[in-house]
Amino acid sequence: MEKALVGIIMGSDSDLPTLKEAAEVLEQFNVPFEINVYSAHRSPHKTQEYIMSAKTRGLKVIIAAAGGAAHLAGVAAAHTTLPVIGVPVMSKSLDGLDSLLSTVQMPPGIPVATVAINGAKNAGILAIQILALSDETLSQKLEEFKKGLESSVMKKNEKLASLGYKNYLEKSQ
Ligand code: RP5
């Protein structure tokens, strides 16, 4: 098995349905990763150990996700110089606004690159973009990925032009 380059950590297994999108995009780009549950609050010592050993174990990027009082990404960033991407997970009481603010509002000196609430797919893509800085094959794959996005937009325009907006809406329902 290839050595993981990206470490995905989440505060609870209840975050996994959200985080699977990060794992899927890393798989799509053949980027080796590891995925674990580590809580900033429920397992602080194990979380610290994991983060502090991440760089020497060969990880290049950390994706850290949590919901509610979402301190995991910030705690991770406090313990490593690896880039940390934070994913605020949608919470039950405040629709993820609590998670977003807890993840994004870091003090100067300890950045967390925070994606949207439940933005796990973008977290995966951002991790790939970081890795692609020193990996030409990955960089080419990203170019192809972006071309794919562009052509899917243009296909929508072709469909819109041929069907008209009313039929387009009916066919999309
Ligand atoms: C956070 O609390 C986790 O990241 C999760 O989003 C939230 C709820 O955790 P569980 O009670 O479902 O384990 O620490």
In this prediction, residue 1 carries a pLDDT of: 74
* Whole-number percent of the chain with pLDDT over 70: 100
In ligand 1, the atom with minimum distance to the C-alpha of 67 is 6
Helix ranges restricted to H, the chain: 16-28, 44-54, 72-78, 97-104, 120-132, 136-172
- Looking at residue 119, its pLDDT comes to 98
Ligand 1 centre distance from Cα of residue 77 (Å): 19
Minimum CA distance residue for ligand 1 atom 2: 67
The pLDDT value recorded for residue 127 is 99
Residues with CB under 6 A from ligand 1: 10-12, 14-15, 39, 66-68, 89
Q: What is the pLDDT of residue 172?
A: 85
**pLDDT number for residue 160:** 97
pLDDT at residue 100, as a whole number: 98
Measured by CA distance, the residue closest to atom 7 of ligand 1 is 67
Q: What is the pLDDT of residue 167?
A: 97
User: For a pocket test of ligand 1, which of 8, 10, 14, 118 has the largest count of ligand atoms closer than 8 A to its C-beta?
Assistant: 14
Q: How far apart are the C-alpha atoms of 91 and 117, rounded to whole Å?
A: 9
pLDDT computed for residue 173 by the predictor: 79
User: Would you tell me how many other CB atoms lie within 10 Å of the CB of residue 78?
Assistant: 17
Residues of the chain with pLDDT under 70: none
